[in-house]
Structure 1
Amino acid sequence: MKFDLHTHHFRCGHADDIIEAYIQAAIGAGLGVIGISDHSPYFASEHDQPQPGIAMARSDFANYIAEVLQLKAKYEGKIDVLLGVESDFYPEHAQLYKDIYAKYPFDYIIGSVHQTRGVSIFNRNRWKGLPPAKQIEEKRHYYELIGQSAASGMFQVLGHIDAMKGYYPAFSDISANDAVDEALSMIASSGVAIEINTSAKLKDAEEWYPSDAILERALHFGVQVTFGSDSHVPSRVGDEWDAVAQRLREIGFKQWVYFNQKQPVVVSL
């Protein structure tokens, strides 16, 4: 059973095409399950769509839900369409987001840390001139937020948990292994899964999220894993699924999961 839980479409402002195109691409790629998980609105902002090139408008969120549910019914028997969303994690706004999500029948919610200290994790300039001690502090803070996101009870999946390496590959070499292990321990205790996300190859890192080293530690702690292409074009749906499955087997994983009605569905590797 092939599945992909991480896809985007035109509403977020930086992905191409309509939701149905991703579903059709998933069928063409031989998937049995496709998750729709566009970027959630910035619910804490007073503006409807403060960053139209990053996340959907708050006023369009109900339309997004309705469209996915309509397509879920349309494609029943052909492919299992899951209702998801990729949510930013802001500790100070967690309850607001949680209350909004509770209104809708999500199959899963991906929690992603996209900013730390108000700066995008993909901003190359954040690392310029930072001494080693400060780099370690920033990496620790990032994994503290990831640990908090796991413990929040808001999410079934955590997105791209070493995405800071996307445009700064040296991030992987910053010494903060104890912080990574603490986050993985919290993730394991929470029952949340981490995704193997194949989109990092499109960035400077040129490899999947997370690194093999983190996946080996995740196995040690008993963390569940899942798959997400993070596709922003339909042609990337399910991208490198077989290669990821093979690598997970080599590392020692025996299974991975997807989520239906927020319950894990185990798929053997």
Structure 2
Amino acid sequence: MIKTDTHLHTLHSHGKATVEAMFHAARAKGIDIIGFSEHSPRPETHSYPSDYQPRLIEGFPTYVADVKRLRDEFKNEATVLFGLEMDWVEGNETFIADTLKAHDFDYVIGGIHFIDTWGFDYRKEDWQVLSESRQVELYQQFYATMANMARTGLFNIVAHPDIIKIFSVDLFREWAAGDEAKAAFRTALTAIHDAGMAIEISSAGLRKPCKEIYPCPQFIALASEMGIPVSFGSDAHSEASVGYAFDQLEQYARKFGYTDSVYFVKRRMHSRKF
């Protein structure tokens, strides 16, 4: 049984529950390493048509205080981790580094949600007007972006490593089976390996239009071959989705030879059997 969830959000961004409620939802499911990884502030140039950023910025001090309070209050019952899902936005490395210096995060998840200034995971209609060749170009750009993110050394975990498939999963599957994709995956994974990072196996995709675990088989098979560790995340935004479909994630991970997952405390990697 997977008892570690390193990707939880709260009502301080676009989640539905408090830090405390998410903690108790995790404990009710037997999870005893509980990683809060709230979304990060972003540069003003990068936003969604409808965005949670004002609420996040206002509530972030409360998020920090609540996570640290729970960490101390329940230290004999569970391990509460203070993390962040930092949006990777190319060309804004100074903004990112300054954000990360502001707090003593246990770990930082690198989330790629933007290509240039476009939030590509916001609505399917944006993808429906794109040609197949343009969509493939975006897949390639996504993995080149991932490699650049890893090379900075600022992050510990890559979030949802193929979220780019969210609205075009059939075409992505076809592309992922080819040599072009394998080369793109290898470039990204080499940078991840060299940076000492982990990749996330996420159940969030099962709740999204793609209806698939993140990442795809070709990506995780290559990660396993290269000896890259994995973490488990539900990317939960509600109490009900904490630890979502972790039985499926366990079977999936074992299929590719994984028997351990990792988590980070004060930016140092720890391993745990599942």
- Structure 1 residues 265 and 145, CA, compared in 2 at 3 Å: closer, same or farther? same
Q: CA offset at residue 245 of structure 1? A: 1.9
- Pairing of 1:1-269 with structure 2 (within 5 A): 2-12=3-13, 14-42=14-42, 44-45=43-44, 52-53=51-52, 56-122=55-121, 123-170=123-170, 171-174=172-175, 175=178, 176-177=180-181, 178-269=183-274
Q: What secondary structure, in the 3-state scheme, does the structure 1 residue paired with 2:222 have?
A: helix
Please give the alpha-carbon distance, in whole angstroms, between the structure 2 residues aligned to 1:27 and 1:172: 36
Q: What secondary structure, in the 3-state scheme, does the structure 2 residue paired with 1:57 have?
A: helix
- Structure 1 residues 129 and 22, CA, compared in 2 at 3 Å: closer, same or farther? closer
Q: CA offset at residue 125 of structure 1? A: 3.2
More displaced, 22-31 or 97-106?
A: 97-106
Please give the alpha-carbon distance, in whole angstroms, between the structure 2 residues aligned to 1:125 and 1:173: 21
The answer on whether the counterparts of 1:29 and 1:238 sit within 8 Å (CA) in structure 2 is: yes
More displaced, 67-76 or 55-64?
A: 55-64
Please give the alpha-carbon distance, in whole angstroms, between the structure 2 residues aligned to 1:155 and 1:82: 15
More displaced, 62-71 or 141-150?
A: 62-71
**Percent of matched pairs sharing the same residue:** 29
Q: What secondary structure, in the 3-state scheme, does the structure 1 residue paired with 2:240 have?
A: helix
Q: Which runs of 5+ in 2 are unaligned?
A: none
The answer on whether the counterparts of 1:121 and 1:163 sit within 8 Å (CA) in structure 2 is: no
Q: CA offset at residue 112 of structure 1? A: 0.6
The answer on whether the counterparts of 1:146 and 1:183 sit within 8 Å (CA) in structure 2 is: yes
Q: Deviations over 1:110-165 (max 9, x none)?
A: 11110113222223234335344333221111111111111111111110010011
Number of aligned residues: 266
Q: What letter is aligned with 1:73?
A: D
Q: CA offset at residue 169 of structure 1? A: 0.9
Please give the alpha-carbon distance, in whole angstroms, between the structure 2 residues aligned to 1:247 and 1:200: 13
Q: What letter is aligned with 2:196?
A: G
Please give the alpha-carbon distance, in whole angstroms, between the structure 1 residues aligned to 2:250 and 2:91: 36
Please give the alpha-carbon distance, in whole angstroms, between the structure 2 residues aligned to 1:232 and 1:4: 13
Q: What secondary structure, in the 3-state scheme, does the structure 2 residue paired with 1:78 have?
A: coil
Please give the alpha-carbon distance, in whole angstroms, between the structure 2 residues aligned to 1:2 and 1:74: 20
- Structure 1 residues 75 and 51, CA, compared in 2 at 3 Å: closer, same or farther? farther
The answer on whether the counterparts of 2:34 and 2:79 sit within 8 Å (CA) in structure 1 is: yes
Scaled by the length of structure 1, the TM-score of the pair is 0.91
The answer on whether the counterparts of 2:17 and 2:239 sit within 8 Å (CA) in structure 1 is: yes
Please give the alpha-carbon distance, in whole angstroms, between the structure 1 residues aligned to 2:88 and 2:151: 12
More displaced, 160-169 or 223-232?
A: 160-169
Q: What letter is aligned with 2:134?
A: K
Q: Which runs of 5+ in 1 are unaligned?
A: none
Please give the alpha-carbon distance, in whole angstroms, between the structure 2 residues aligned to 1:79 and 1:55: 31
RMSD across aligned positions (CA): 2.2
Q: What letter is aligned with 1:118?
A: T
Scaled by the length of structure 2, the TM-score of the pair is 0.90
Q: CA offset at residue 28 of structure 1? A: 0.8
Q: CA offset at residue 97 of structure 1? A: 1.6
The answer on whether the counterparts of 2:20 and 2:66 sit within 8 Å (CA) in structure 1 is: no
Q: What letter is aligned with 1:3?
A: T
